């Protein structure tokens, strides 16, 4: 049987251990389940995505707002997320 050694953030490990304890499986069993699923399905068994905030479309949108602010075209109004002084 092969042995795998890896490093993981302490908080992530502790949080995962609590979750696995609540489910009733060990960390080793959970990792084996993950690896068997990867091998069987030949893919990572969940969606991976980047933070949409940094997408090209959002960056272009933010840059257009910045241009509007710099040229005085931007108009801002109070709403529930802005606290009045």
Q: DSSP secondary structure string, the chain? A: ---------HHHHHHHHHHHHHHT--HHHHHHHHHHHHHHHTS-SS-----GGGSHHHHHHHHHHHHHHHHT-------TTSPP-
What is residue 84's predicted lDDT score, i.e. its pLDDT? 61
Minimum mean pLDDT among 6-15, 18-27, 51-60, 72-81: which range? 72-81
Whole-prediction pTM value? 0.57
């Amino acid at each position: 049987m092969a042995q795998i050694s890896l490093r993981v953030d302490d908080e992530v490990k502790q949080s995962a251990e609590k979750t696995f304890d609540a489910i009733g499986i060990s960390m080793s069993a959970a990792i084996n389940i993950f690896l068997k699923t990867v091998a069987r399905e030949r893919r990572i068994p969940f969606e991976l995505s980047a933070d949409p905030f940094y997408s090209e479309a959002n960056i272009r949108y933010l840059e257009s707002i910045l241009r509007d602010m710099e040229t005085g075209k931007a108009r801002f109004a109070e709403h529930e997320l802005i606290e009045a002084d």
